[in-house]
Chain A
Amino acid sequence: MASFILRRLVQALFVLLVMSMLVFTGVYVIGNPIDVLISPDVTQAMRQQVIEQYGLHLPLWQQYLQFLQRLLTGDLGRSFVFNMPVLTLIGQRLPATLELTLTAVLFASIVGIPLGVYAGYKPDSLAAKVIMAVSVLGFSVPTFWIGLMLIMVFAVQLGLLPAGGRGETADLFGVPFSFLTANGWSHLVLPALNLSLFKLAMMCRLAASGTREIMLTDTIKFARAAGISEGTILRRHVLKLISIPLVTVFGLELGSTLAFALVTETIFSWPGLGKLIIDSITSLDRPVMVAYLMLVSALFVFINLCVDLTYAVLDPRLRQGRR
């Protein structure tokens, strides 16, 4: 077990290092940020001064090494546009995105998995067919379009819920969250729903196909032959078997939802990381882009690590040091 964790940790560090190189080089290719930093009518001397201040005259590899060096001291640079430390900037935005993402994924799991398990358990029932048909629809509709429709129906036509923003927030451990106030919830509902629908459909389908296959195995037939009730079979056999693939999916989906949040955040003007990265790409705010991508990579690596560990806990075949 210890060896397993160690191996995954070393791998994770390696992945992060490679990612930092790729991200840094990739971002370096996009335009020259100096044009964003200063207005075109400043003097050549000032221009040169700014270039040197940001180290933009150095070759790529030196800039990268400097970046790594600062990274180790926890300094991710300053935003060109906001002129504040990137870390602070991201720290301000991160809670909003995490809040949105977690709400969406939890909702998708709580609703999607039971529906899917049911549809897989009784695949020939009418309810299962309806669930599967709706899930194909949910799987097919692009997130941004659903977002528009939600705004149109609930905000414009019915006027029930606000179309954007975070609303009132309350602090938890000094960090503002929307889900702590009623007004915040009213702002959170639509974007979270928007973000979760695609995931919901996907989890539902995965749970359904997994359950359907498990139901056909000899394990279930043997349990039935022993006279074990269907309820016990579902709870003790099916759920235990299906939890293993679902945990993987849950982790991967958490990551991908984090990324998809940029679409939802744009539509609902949700002041999270997604909006920040879109703004920073259009304004060529290099430090913010690099920091965002590194942060997202780190998050993904962390999530994958958690998935692997949970996997090992759930599956006794892995736990006992087998490969």
Chain B
Amino acid sequence: MTPLLDVRNLRTYFETDKGVVKSVDDISFELGRGEVMGLVGESGSGKSITGFSLIGLLDENGHIQEGSSVRFNGRELVGLSERELRAIRGKDISMVFQDPMMTLNPVVKIVDQIGMAIRAHEKVSDAEIRKRAIEALDRVRIVDPQDKVDQYPHEFSGGMRQRVAIAIALLHRPQLVIADEPTTALDVSVQAEILTMVKALVAEMGTSLIWVSHDLATVSSIADTIAVMRRGKILEAGPAREVLHHPRHPYTQGLLDALPSRSKPGELLASAATEAAGAMELTGLGSGAIDAAPDETFVKAENIEKVFAPRIGAFHRLGIRWGVMREPSPVRAVKSASLTIARGEILGLVGESGSGKSTLGRILCGIYSPDAGTVSIGGKPVRSDKGKLGTHVQMIFQDPFASLDPRRTIFQSVSDGPIAHGFCTRAGAREYVNRWLRAVAFDPALADRYPHQFSGGQRQRIAIARALALQPEVIVCDEPVASLDVSIQAQVINLLMELRRTLNITLLFISHDLSVVHHLCDRVVVMRHGEIVEEGTATQVFHAPRHPYTQMLLDAVPKLEA
């Protein structure tokens, strides 16, 4: 029997300003009916482009090369006209995209968006469209589909929008669905629901599925077979259990080893990137914290409140008084939160998007002023009415592409703070900065370049060096590894653990990723809707959670199938 999909020697090249980029470089694989394949790779591996190549949906500058073959039900798809491809797209092969906030048209009603997709392949009456749209929403378990079809996307949450996108993809009962990182942009709990739902739907409909993802754990919970991609090539492919438990390629092994969930908490993670970057030089660094006495309540935040109130103009106030306008409801980002961190401890702050964890982190760092409550470090307040006091708490941000000024060189970015606060003189800045760059295993010879010349992992190390150069006692890390590939993530985690060990720095580690927090942190605080719902040692929280929310989060975390 012929496989549903038979890809042979697929090559997709892009012509860019910087020359030809071989995004997909000679890959072959087969997919049977009803089979679920996980296509795994780090950013830039060509996994998404592979998905788009199958249905010939590439940007203007991308081309499938001669000699490539994609056979679907025995029919060659490469070289088909746009018309013929369009007849297949959405009907026989459909796609789900990564970011549900971007895929639906914000100014078109849900029923009309579904209707367009139905009419792309069938002639149907308006009444029929409505009926089928309601059915489609019902299938992806959206409550009240009769009312929901008449709404606009902005009235839906991210998870619901992704459900709508999935409903659209399944409208014509396609034989193959290509899902491109469909849960990456969603919260853990939503991610788990969608995963379960898709799994059930494809099983029920007998649809084949290609699940493109960077996350081995997610893939392992849904895929029958796994293909690992790097730099446009498939390095390894086979049954999921085989690939996960007996990887043949060292790269796959490396990916698995870099997962925090696969090693004991507190251990350094195996990371090829750490080795490639070279040794960290951590000797001879000044820091106030190294020999400091233990202090159980070194960082102390008490009853922190933060409200983001929408600004009300004079007219608006008048309108409220006349009763013709509503008072906008203020957002209570943080509600009476208290926490302490011992000196030298790593405290994990866990929560989903909108939980207020970032806001609390910024308040602890002194960037925001709380509306009520106090923050002190070593007994001294971090902020006065006028602004932040001192440099003893620093911050590392999520997106290393945004946290460095694109118009300042690495040297300038790292030296600005120390010069302004007297840690070094302008003349001695070069030598001072180099010391801290070496501490994060960054080659000082590259310090005169601009951020755009470096990768995400390198930038994140620069950002850490910038924070370290102010010799802080506390560092607030706001999702510092969320946007990094697994191997780079392992490198940054290792770096943070080393810094804590050698420099005795106290860390507040904010993250949505429970496995990373479990690996790195001594104690954990769980936040939800601005409130702290659970607090305890890592072991206690992860093994015997007291709050149902924590339990739900833990259950939702995708795990590598044993």
Contact = CB atoms under 8 A, between A and B. Distances in A.
A–B direct contact (CB < 8 Å) = yes
A218 B60 contact: no
B97 A222 contact: yes
A124 B155 CA distance: 37
B117 interface: yes
Interface stretch (A103-111, A229-237, A282-290): A229-237
B165 A222 contact: yes
A219 B104 contact: yes
A227 B105 contact: no
Nearest to A237: B105
Given A224-B86, A244-B107, 5 more contacts: A218-B99, A225-B89, A226-B116, A228-B117, A237-B108
B334 interface: no
B106 A218 contact: no
Contacts of B325: 3, 6-7
Given A226-B94, A228-B90, A218 B103 contact: yes
Contacts of B88: 227
Interface string A172-214: 0000000000000000000000000000000000000000000
17 contacts: A3-B319, A3-B324, A6-B319, A11-B315, A218-B102, A221-B103, A223-B117, A225-B90, A226-B120, A226-B168, A227-B88, A229-B86, A232-B119, A236-B108, A237-B108, A320-B152, A321-B326
Q: Which of A124, A218, A232 has the most CB of B within 10 A?
A: A218
A240 interface: yes
Given A227-B89, A228-B120, A240-B105, A221 B97 contact: yes
Interface string B36-68: 000000000000000000010100100000000
A2 B94 CA distance: 43
A222 B108 CA distance: 14
Interface residues of B, number: 43
A320 B95 contact: no
Contacts of B97: 218, 221-222, 225
B290 to A, nearest CB: 49
Given A236-B108, A317-B154, A227 B120 contact: yes
A317 B89 contact: no
A247 interface: no
A225 B324 contact: no
Given A218-B99, A240-B105, A223 B116 contact: yes
Interface in B94-137: 94-95, 97, 99, 102-109, 112, 116-117, 119-121
A316 B152 contact: yes
A194 B325 CA distance: 46
Interface in B292-323: 310, 315-316, 318-319
Contact of A236 (B116, B315, B318, B324): B116
Contacts of A236: 108, 112, 116
Given A7-B319, A227-B86, A236-B116, A124 B57 contact: no
Nearest to A219: B105
A229 B318 CA distance: 50
A227 B102 contact: no
A75 interface: no
A10 B315 contact: yes
Contact of B318 (A2, A10, A321, A323): A10
Contacts of A241: 105-107
Interface string B155-169: 100000000010011
A65 to B, nearest CB: 24
A226 B166 CA distance: 11
Contacts of A3: 319, 324-326
A296 interface: no
Nearest to A225: B95
Contacts of A2: 324
Interface of B: 55, 57, 60, 86-91, 94-95, 97, 99, 102-109, 112, 116-117, 119-121, 152, 154-155, 165, 168-169, 171, 310, 315-316, 318-319, 324-326, 328
A223 B154 CA distance: 18
A73 interface: no
Contacts of B107: 240-241, 244, 314-316
Nearest to A221: B57
Given A218-B99, A226-B120, A237-B105, A317 B86 contact: no
A224 B94 contact: no
Contacts of B319: 3, 6-7
Contacts of A226: 89-90, 94, 116-117, 120, 168-169, 171
B117 A317 contact: no
A228 B108 contact: no
B35 to A, nearest CB: 21
A240 B108 contact: yes
A316 B315 CA distance: 24
* Interface pairs A-B: 6 shortest CB-CB: A227-B90, A226-B90, A3-B325, A227-B89, A316-B152, A218-B102
Contacts of B121: 227
A39 interface: no
Interface string A1-29: 01100110011000000000000000000
A225 B116 contact: no
A217 interface: yes
B116 A228 contact: yes
Interface string A301-323: 00000000000001111001111
Contacts of A232: 116, 119-120
B46 to A, nearest CB: 17
Contacts of B60: 124
Contact of A320 (B155, B310, B326): B155
A244 B106 CA distance: 12
Contact of A225 (B87, B94, B108, B310): B94
A316 B106 contact: yes
Given A3-B319, A228-B116, A217 B102 contact: yes
Contacts of A218: 97, 99, 102-103
Nearest to A228: B120
Contact of B57 (A11, A224, A315, A321): A224
A263 B99 CA distance: 50
Interface string A86-115: 000000000000000000000000000000
Nearest to B112: A236
Contacts of B155: 320
Nearest to B155: A320
Nearest to A124: B60
Contacts of B117: 223, 226-228
A7 B315 CA distance: 7
Nearest to A5: B324
Nearest to B55: A225
Contacts of A11: 315
